[in-house]
Structure 1
């Protein structure tokens, strides 16, 4: 499989960013996001996992966010991605997990990101936020 061009890579990352933020803000369901993610090639799944781990880091997730996100994710607390995200500090090597764990990792990462990002939007950005990803229009279709 050929590597995507840099323009294709940027377009894909923007699409992934939009979808993940729409899920985090409740504009799409986690299951719809998982369906989108599951249809991606393994290399794109790894890219998405790296991106979402970066979003989680930028949202300054806490161990409490990790536990709350795991509870929302539908993934067992003993699964590798759940254990990794609940460590203090969290471990972020999700893209290095075996492909069979990628969907679980996506569910956990997006759920934890949703918890942390919601907290930050409510406490830090309420009424003063200029982040484009915090001001998404209502979604009209599934990812």
Structure 2
């Protein structure tokens, strides 16, 4: 994937939105997403962490979502991003973590978002969802 973006960054945001939602819906593996994230420039990684943090907040994650997401993430429960997301209320300063923890933070954030978003798709959006990102076609699956 490329890192090209429009002047306002919207193209990149759409790519991030697509990647994160594909992971959340099982159309892309978390490892594939982490590889995509790892290939980004450091500045873009910070932007992605901030964007995914926004998704998690919009999904109204709970402490239970945090624990379930950390279990799926492959990140130790004692790692900073894991501890932060499992607090009640969650702490969202992931972009402020040292660069060495950004991939862990991405894995945790996306995993927790996937748990919360799946719950919301099964409850709030069940049968009447107009959110385009909740209805990604299976053909969008990435290698």
Report TM bin, short chain. over 0.9
Unaligned runs of 5+ in 2: none
Give the Cα separation in 1 of the matches to 2:141 and 2:113: 22
* Secondary structure of residue in 2 paired with 1:129: coil
Write out aligned runs for 1:55-70 (5 A): 55-70=55-70
The residue number in structure 2 matching 1:111 is 111
Give the Cα separation in 2 of the matches to 1:99 and 1:112: 20
Deviation at 1:5, TM superposition (A): 5.5
Q: In the alignment, does 2:30 pair up with 1:30?
A: yes
The residue number in structure 2 matching 1:21 is 21
Q: In the alignment, does 2:94 pair up with 1:94?
A: yes
Runs of 4+ with >4 A deviation: none
Deviation at 1:59, TM superposition (A): 0.3
Is the alpha carbon distance of 1:118 and 1:140 closer, same or farther for their aligned partners in structure 2, counting shifts above 3 Å?
Answer: closer
* Secondary structure of residue in 2 paired with 1:12: helix
TM-score (normalizing by structure 2): 0.94
TM-score (normalizing by structure 1): 0.94
Deviation at 1:11, TM superposition (A): 0.4
Q: CA RMSD in A?
A: 1.0
Most deviating of 131-140 and 43-52: 131-140
* Secondary structure of residue in 1 paired with 2:32: helix
Q: In the alignment, does 2:142 pair up with 1:141?
A: yes
Unaligned runs of 5+ in 1: none
Give the Cα separation in 2 of the matches to 1:115 and 1:140: 19
Give the Cα separation in 2 of the matches to 1:119 and 1:6: 35
